[in-house]
Amino acid sequence: MRVVELRAEHVREPLGLGSARPRLSWRLETDVPGATQVAYELTVGEYSTGRVESPDQVLVAWPAPPLASRESRAVTVRVWTGPEDSATSDPLRVEAGLLDPRDWRAALIGGEAAPGDTDGPAILLRREFELPAEPVRARLYATAHGVYEPELNGATVGDHVLAPGWTSYHHRLRYQTHDVTGQLRAGRNTIGAWLAEGWYAGRLGFRGGRRGVYGDRPAVALQLEVACADGSTHVIATDGEWRAAPSPITATGLYDGERYDARREEIGAHEWGPVTERPLDASRLVAPDGPPVRRTEVLRPVSARRTGDGRTILDFGQNLTGRLRIRVEGERGATVVLRHAEVLQDGELYTRPLREAEARDEYILRGGGPETWEPRFTVHGFRYAEVAGGVSEVDAEAVVCHTDMTRTGWFDSSDPLLNRLHDNVVWSMRGNFLDVPTDCPQRDERLGWTGDLAVFAPTAAFLYDCAGLLTSWLADLAAEQAELGTVPFYVPWVELLGPSLPAAVWGDAAVVTPSVLHERFGDAGILRQQYPSMRAWVDQVAALSGEHRRWDSGFQFGDWLDPAAPPEQPAAARTDPHLVATAAHADSARRLAHIAAVLGEDGDRERYLAHANAVAEAFNDEFVTPSGRLASDAQTAYAMALTTGLLAKEEQRERAGRRLVELVRAEDYRVGTGFAGTPLICDALTGVGAADAAYHLLLQRECPSWLYPVTMGATTMWERWDSLLPDGTVNPGEMTSFNHYAFGAVADWLHRTVAGLAPAAPAYRRILVRPRPGGGLEHAEAVHDSPYGRIRVGWQRANGRLNVHVSVPPGVTARVELPAPGWAPVEAGPGIHEYTCDFRAPTDDPPPVRDAHPFNTPEKE
């Protein structure tokens, strides 16, 4: 028996925690079948809880006196599985950050020149100082209006990328804490930083975007605190005594790329001058809730093609987010030009989908030997790169960058295309969870669109431990909402097309996302934190809906990117946007009623439940016929009505289910849904007993479908079902990204229904094992590292038998429901379990039922 992965809050590295009372979690590993925790003892420094009779082991309340700023304590947990059987964890050292704004002595400093209409340069900042003795403890606390990279004695501090990340700066500014004891020495030391505009002062957004959204010039705040062996303590903080100089980075921006002149590295090249200084508003500073952006992988090209004019086009075999690292040798002053794109057309980089993002890096050689370079303050979304310039040979590799989340979910099946689809979902999440959950990583946008996250959150929470990242993002959402009076279209908010307006699905992220974090990570704290935001959103829409309870006014995205919508009219869906809005409002009100119950807000629970029922009744009155047909005779309309419990009568639900199957069949099992319907369509079909139709829809290879992009060579999810047309040309729409995760929301159905691993209680403390094999699949499996430990559910079928294996970690129970007539549900505890029942062979799965309709007439074929 082992107690493992003891941690504080949602961070792996508990240095510089922002909470004085961090919650604690741990996992129990044991080979003893059925063993589970019955009691624990937490020890924090000299404080001990004694034995606590409890099975709780996820986000357990801090049991000791609160931490003070900078205070460090060792934490251990002892776990019992019986009266005597116990095990104790290794110690976890937790350390608080600067918890009081008065702890900060640093000012914000920067260069003198304000940026113009183009990407500004990065600047260098430095100061020398003396230490009288060897350092025994040193911490660097750092943040910036912009993006920064700190250095001590010429070496980079930490491995963060684009720190401090992007928050709603006028509400919240994140700071980082580094242990730098090993980078200091007795005697003379030098502290410095690189500083660039980043999200703070650089260009943001589409259609030209905006510069200086938060301020017109970047600045950094560094506070180095050192304790020396002689007992002395020292604080070296940014102030007017520091010096600034131009850096070799002569221009850098998130969209257009970076230009680096290595000749400016030479001794004496920097002209050091005074810094500008302004106060740091420490009341806005917050410690990170999750991991930073890091370099997470390096990919070598799978092919390189030399063009007739001396350029080299590299294919990395994978659409990714990051930048190139090059190794080059050549004459002084020679320039290497790097261009990036997601796709090729006619053998060349096709950059129209980038819109106004240049995605171009330049490196000017210093000469005299081999040189290695990687941009510091930019990232691109690309699979292909072009290398050109005045050198004959350049060795290049792709450095993948994203928030360094822990992978927690996997899926596998007997269908290689389905497995590639799931891989594409994973890569799109990696590419777009770059400090905030963005829509795309390549063009002049890269914004935290709320609608994308609202539909993808369940999938995201299965694949990666994204609780910390989303906790931070939700705090910004609540802050922006409070200022703007509504949930904006994206977070952080940048006004590009006028003021933010309330919109269904997008605004519902305020309720859906905390609900998912509670379900998947067991975090009731996020519900309490976001509760005012959730209430404000539901109350706002209730007011807009009026006494008739239907949200039928104002702007709506509707079922965005319905495949039937014209390329330049992505909101022109087949489903009435007011039907979508009313259904989404009913769902959020019902979710909020459940959340109120979790928080003990009984009055709110009754009020929001009554409101949800009233909205459902209004939905029926306006959009549903007595027999169960919907006013919008479209896949999304039926999927929303069926999965959110909006249909009042059983006969209506039955007829709506039959009609949904008819519509899916009439489209020849091609997808007919956009953002609102895509996460729900397979669940809706499965829920009405049409799982085979869901499989036919899932495994369709003709456009529009999930597998069509796979057959076209996609390695990430596309924004449009037909971002690449069958003839290999790019969709003519202005919005044509090849890395958008929203339609990858179907992966949640793969996990829960195809493989059969679904949460049935917060943090997967209880799971539902209910696989529904089909589609000719011979086997499928899902694996999830839940807060309690690894869960594995898989099945194989052959010779008329279905074999299901289930691995349940300590602290978790399972309800097993197999798809066999007369099968009685089975309860399973911790351990490894095998179940078998009669079930048809893969070759006996029902084939698609095909009707005469426009898609399969001889003329179309």
b/e per residue, 362-392, with b = 16+ CB within 10 A?
bbbbbeeeebebbbbbbbbbbbbbbbbbebe
Better-scored residue on pLDDT, 477 or 568: 477
- Give the Cα separation of 504 and 389 in Å (integer): 49
- Give the Cα separation of 339 and 388 in Å (integer): 9
Per-residue pLDDT of 686-708, as tens digits, reads 999 999 999 999 999 999 999 99
Per-residue pLDDT of 3-22, as tens digits, reads 999 999 999 999 999 999 99
In the structure encoding, which two tokens stand for residue 704, read together? 């529009």
% helix / strand / coil in the chain, to the nearest 5?
A: 25, 30, 45
Average model confidence (pLDDT) for the chain? 96
The three-class DSSP label of residue 735 is coil
Strands 766-769 and 813-816: parallel
For 509, the enclosing helix (H) or strand (E) is: helix 509-521
- Give the Cα separation of 593 and 75 in Å (integer): 37
Q: Do residues 363 and 262 touch, judged by C-beta distance below 8 A?
A: yes
In the structure encoding, which two tokens stand for residue 220, read together? 């950094």
- Give the Cα separation of 603 and 535 in Å (integer): 13
Provide the pLDDT for residue 155.
Answer: 97
Fill in the amino acid letter for 8.
A
What is the percent of the chain with per-residue pLDDT over 90, rounded to a whole number?
94
- Give the Cα separation of 414 and 103 in Å (integer): 57
Report CA Rg, the chain: 28
- Give the Cα separation of 378 and 260 in Å (integer): 12
In DSSP notation, 138-203 reads EEEEEEEESEEEEEETTEE-S--SSBT----TTT-EE-EEEE-GGG--SEEEEEEEEEE-HHHHS-
- Give the Cα separation of 118 and 808 in Å (integer): 56
Selecting among 342, 601, 667, 719, the annotated active-site residue is 719
Per-residue pLDDT of 436-474, as tens digits, reads 999 999 999 999 999 999 999 999 999 999 999 999 999
Q: How far apart are the first and last CA of the chain?
A: 62
- Give the Cα separation of 720 and 106 in Å (integer): 47
Helix axes 635-643, 650-666, angle to 10 degrees: 150
Provide the pLDDT for residue 207.
Answer: 85
The three-class DSSP label of residue 480 is helix
In DSSP notation, 606-633 reads HHHHHHHHHHHHHHHHHHB-TTS-BSS-
Selecting among 445, 480, 601, 781, the annotated active-site residue is 445
For 714, the enclosing helix (H) or strand (E) is: none
Per-residue pLDDT of 763-783, as tens digits, reads 999 999 999 999 999 999 999
- 723 CB contacts (<8 Å, ≥6 apart)? 709, 730, 731, 736, 737, 738
Residue recorded with tokens 């993948």: 400
Residue 809 vs residues 8, 29, 613, 759, 833: alpha-carbon distances, Å:
21, 7, 38, 14, 11
Provide the pLDDT for residue 391.
Answer: 87
Per-residue pLDDT of 650-686, as tens digits, reads 999 999 999 999 999 999 999 999 999 999 999 999 9
The three-class DSSP label of residue 7 is strand
Query: Does 477 score more than 80 pLDDT?
Result: yes
Query: Does 855 score more than 70 pLDDT?
Result: no
Provide the pLDDT for residue 396.
Answer: 97
Provide the pLDDT for residue 857.
Answer: 38
Q: Do residues 238 and 223 touch, judged by C-beta distance below 8 A?
A: yes
What's the number of CA atoms in the CB half-sphere (13 Å) around residue 523? Answer: 28
| Sign of the torsion angle spanned by Cα atoms 568, 574, 575, 578 | positive
The number of angstroms, rounded, from the C-alpha of 565 to the middle of its chain's C-alpha atoms is 27
Per-residue pLDDT of 329-363, as tens digits, reads 999 999 999 999 999 999 999 999 999 999 999 99
- Give the Cα separation of 12 and 442 in Å (integer): 29
Provide the pLDDT for residue 852.
Answer: 55
φ, ψ for residue 560, nearest 5 deg: -55, 135
Plot region of 152 (φ>0 → left; ψ -120 to 50 → alpha; else → beta): beta
Fill in the amino acid letter for 247.
S
From 257, 219, 470, select the one nearest 381 (Cα to Cα): 257
In DSSP notation, 451-479 reads HHHHHHHHHHHHHB--HHHHHHHHHHHHH
Query: Does 112 score more than 90 pLDDT?
Result: no
- Residue 608: which pLDDT band, with cuts at 50, 70 and 90? very high
Residue recorded with tokens 């703007």: 484
The three-class DSSP label of residue 721 is coil
Residue recorded with tokens 């979508």: 580
- Give the Cα separation of 707 and 419 in Å (integer): 10
- Give the Cα separation of 657 and 662 in Å (integer): 9
In the structure encoding, which two tokens stand for residue 173, read together? 């500014």
Q: Do residues 812 and 765 touch, judged by C-beta distance below 8 A?
A: yes
φ, ψ for residue 110, nearest 5 deg: -155, -170
- Give the Cα separation of 11 and 95 in Å (integer): 12
719 in catalytic set: yes
- Give the Cα separation of 700 and 697 in Å (integer): 5
Query: What secondary structure letter does DSSP report for 71?
Result: -
Q: Do residues 676 and 575 touch, judged by C-beta distance below 8 A?
A: yes
- Give the Cα separation of 569 and 562 in Å (integer): 10
445 in catalytic set: yes
Q: Do residues 790 and 772 touch, judged by C-beta distance below 8 A?
A: no
Q: What is the mean pLDDT of residues 577-603?
A: 98
- Give the Cα separation of 318 and 297 in Å (integer): 12
Per-residue pLDDT of 482-539, as tens digits, reads 999 999 999 999 998 889 999 999 999 999 999 999 999 999 999 999 999 999 999 9
Per-residue pLDDT of 819-835, as tens digits, reads 999 899 999 999 999 99
Provide the pLDDT for residue 392.
Answer: 81
Omega before 492 cis (within 30°)? yes
For 87, the enclosing helix (H) or strand (E) is: strand 86-88
| Sign of the torsion angle spanned by Cα atoms 7, 11, 13, 19 | negative
- Give the Cα separation of 807 and 805 in Å (integer): 7
Q: Do residues 686 and 772 touch, judged by C-beta distance below 8 A?
A: yes
Per-residue pLDDT of 147-166, as tens digits, reads 999 999 999 999 999 999 99
- Give the Cα separation of 476 and 625 in Å (integer): 42
- Residue 266: which pLDDT band, with cuts at 50, 70 and 90? confident
Q: Cα angle at 448 between 444 and 450, to 5 degrees?
A: 130
- Give the Cα separation of 713 and 707 in Å (integer): 10
Per-residue pLDDT of 33-49, as tens digits, reads 899 999 999 999 999 99
Per-residue pLDDT of 306-338, as tens digits, reads 999 999 999 999 999 999 999 999 999 999 999
- Give the Cα separation of 107 and 104 in Å (integer): 8
Per-residue pLDDT of 80-105, as tens digits, reads 999 889 999 999 999 999 999 999 99
- Give the Cα separation of 420 and 11 in Å (integer): 30
Provide the pLDDT for residue 267.
Answer: 60
Q: Do residues 714 and 726 touch, judged by C-beta distance below 8 A?
A: no
Provide the pLDDT for residue 859.
Answer: 34
Provide the pLDDT for residue 268.
Answer: 64
